């Protein structure tokens, strides 16, 4: 048990009176041993840091929770792992792919017509476009590519922060 000796400009009695804190509360805070939950959290934090470092700072809460259970037999909630990681200022690294909106029926019909005639006989008769995502250190970047179906060559490409129609229009123009 560590006893803290703090030096103040004013007496403890005065400080407690001004802050409206009982003296017994002040002394209990510094003279009592840490709670069992606090000790347990410190131990789990050490293990989380070990797992996080071994994974080259790539694991999020879910994977760390699974490794704590597999390696140390610690059953812990996802929320608690998240809180402990947040208190340690460990960044959340997600391996979940971004969600995209589903195509409308009319879009699928147009795509079907294009794919039926996917071998045009002349240059610049049919172009196709696709947007793909690239994982970066700061999140996801989106790559839009336009290809001529006749020559199968890339006509234009553009990288953007969002996968939306603006990215597609910017790529065309």
Give yes or no for residue 98 having a pLDDT over 70.
Answer: no
Residue 150, CA atoms < 13 Å, CB-side half-sphere: 7
Give yes or no for residue 1 having a pLDDT over 60.
Answer: no
pLDDT at position 130: 87
Give yes or no for residue 42 having a pLDDT over 90.
Answer: yes
Q: Strand pairing partners for 159?
A: 143
pLDDT at position 110: 67
Q: Tell me the average pLDDT across 19-30.
A: 88
Which residue would you say has higher pLDDT here, 113 or 39? 39
- Give the whole-number percent of the chain exceeding pLDDT 70: 80
What is the rounded radius of gyration, in angstroms, for the C-alpha atoms of the chain? 29
24 burial type by CB count under 10 A (0-12 exposed, 13-18 middle, 19+ buried)? exposed
pLDDT at position 36: 94
Give yes or no for residue 32 having a pLDDT over 80.
Answer: yes
Supply the mean pLDDT for the chain.
84
Confidence label for 141 from pLDDT (cuts 50, 70 and 90): very high
Q: Tell me the average pLDDT across 81-95.
A: 83
Indicate the pairing of strand 127-136 with strand 153-160.
Answer: unpaired
Q: What are phi and psi of 113, to 5 degrees?
A: -65, -40
pLDDT at position 163: 87
Give yes or no for residue 44 having a pLDDT over 90.
Answer: yes
């Amino acid at each position: 048990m560590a006893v803290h000796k703090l030096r103040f400009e004013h007496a403890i009695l005065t400080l407690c009176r001004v802050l409206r804190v009982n003296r017994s509360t002040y002394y209990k805070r510094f003279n009592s041993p840490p709670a069992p939950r606090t000790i347990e959290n410190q131990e789990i934090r050490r293990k989380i840091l070990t797992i996080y470092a071994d994974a080259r700072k790539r694991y999020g809460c879910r994977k760390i929770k699974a490794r704590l259970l597999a390696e140390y037999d610690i059953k812990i909630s996802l929320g608690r792992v998240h809180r402990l990681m947040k208190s340690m200022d460990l960044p959340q690294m997600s391996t979940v792919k971004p969600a995209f909106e589903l195509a409308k029926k009319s879009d699928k019909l147009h795509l079907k017509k294009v794919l039926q005639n996917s071998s045009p006989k002349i240059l610049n008769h049919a172009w196709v476009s696709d947007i793909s995502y690239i994982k970066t250190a700061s999140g996801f970047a989106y790559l839009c590519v336009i290809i001529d179906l006749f020559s199968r060559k890339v006509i234009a490409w553009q990288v953007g922060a969002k996968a939306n129609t603006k990215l597609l229009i910017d790529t065309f123009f």
